[in-house]
């Protein structure tokens, strides 16, 4: 169980809830810490929790039957995921691994389903989130096949800073070049070169602790 004040800090969707619904959410959430490289679950696992990132970065990825590693996206502060698997009551179709020490919030499946069945505000949030994530993955299919390294890095940064899926980020993304490479499916060196190109284009400013976003829309459409 977490406190109502803490819920409001880690979950933007809680603003849509009534007092009764927020209390139910608080009683159904616990937190845990994942150290760097630790998996929250693997593809095929039955993991009956809706999950949010309180702090840190986790990667959503999988390995194909041919052995190819595929990175879908990163999830950062304020991002919640896994609603589709709980709604469909199916095993997870991807791995979740921490790229750095990360604090994770887990809502029990029973609490999620109660909110899903009873809360208009919660469902409004879910529709918005699912619609945003659908657009992200449709874009991912085209970008992965059609673009070179720098556009892939640009879109990776843009997706990490998506105000709907990661409302806790803002304009400064704390991420290392190694982490950015892992999320983009590139080496650290290639991620570094791509960041320099994006910086020269006036889209980002590279800092010692991450990346400052100067033009989010430009990152989304870089290379088109």
Cβ within 8 Å of residue 45, ≥6 positions away: 91, 92
What domains are there in the chain, each with its CATH number? 4-128 (2.60.120.10), 147-220 (1.10.10.10)
Structure tokens at 25: 């959410």
Q: Could you report the per-residue pLDDT of 185-199, keeping only the tens digit for each?
A: 888 999 999 999 999
Sign of the CA dihedral with 179 first, then 98, 12, and 185 last:
positive
| Contacts for 87 with CB less than 8 Å, ≥ 6 apart | 116
Q: What is the mean pLDDT of the chain?
A: 90
**Residues 120, 101: Cα–Cα separation, whole Å:** 34
- Token readout for 31 is 């937190």
Q: What is the pLDDT of residues 127-162, one digit of tens each?
A: 999 998 887 777 766 655 446 889 889 988 998 888
- Token output for 103: 């604090």
Average the pLDDT over 162-179 and give the result: 86
Count Cβ atoms below 10 Å from residue 109 Cβ, excluding itself: 20
Q: Count other C-beta atoms under 10 Å from residue 135's C-beta.
A: 12
Whether residue 208 is predicted with pLDDT greater than 60 in this model: the reply is: yes
Residue 52 has pLDDT above 60, yes or no: yes
pLDDT at residue 141, as a whole number: 64
| Whole-number Å distance between alpha carbons of 22 and 28 | 10
Question: 48: pLDDT confidence band, cut at 50, 70 and 90?
Answer: very high
């Amino acid at each position: 169980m977490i406190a109502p004040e803490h819920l409001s800090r880690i979950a933007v969707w809680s603003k849509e809830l009534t007092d009764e619904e927020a209390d139910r959410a608080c009683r159904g959430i616990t937190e845990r810490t994942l150290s760097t490289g630790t998996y929250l679950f693997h593809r095929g696992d039955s993991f009956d929790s809706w999950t949010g990132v309180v702090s840190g970065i986790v990667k959503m990825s999988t390995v194909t039957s041919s052995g190819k590693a595929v990175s879908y996206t990163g999830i950062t502060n304020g991002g919640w995921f896994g609603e589709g698997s709980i709604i469909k009551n199916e095993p997870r179709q991807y791995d979740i691994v921490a790229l750095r020490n990360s604090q994770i919030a887990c809502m029990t499946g029973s609490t999620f389903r109660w909110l899903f069945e009873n809360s208009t505000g919660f469902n409004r949030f879910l529709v918005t989130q699912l619609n945003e994530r659908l657009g992200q993955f449709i874009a991912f299919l085209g970008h992965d096949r059609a673009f070179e390294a720098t556009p892939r890095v640009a879109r990776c940064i843009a997706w990490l800073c998506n105000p709907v899926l990661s409302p806790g980020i803002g304009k400064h993304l704390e991420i290392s070049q190694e982490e950015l490479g892992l999320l983009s499916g590139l080496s650290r060196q290639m991620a570094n070169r791509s960041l320099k190109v994006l910086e020269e284009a006036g889209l980002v400013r590279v800092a010692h602790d991450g990346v400052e976003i100067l033009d989010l829309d430009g990152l989304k459409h870089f290379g088109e």
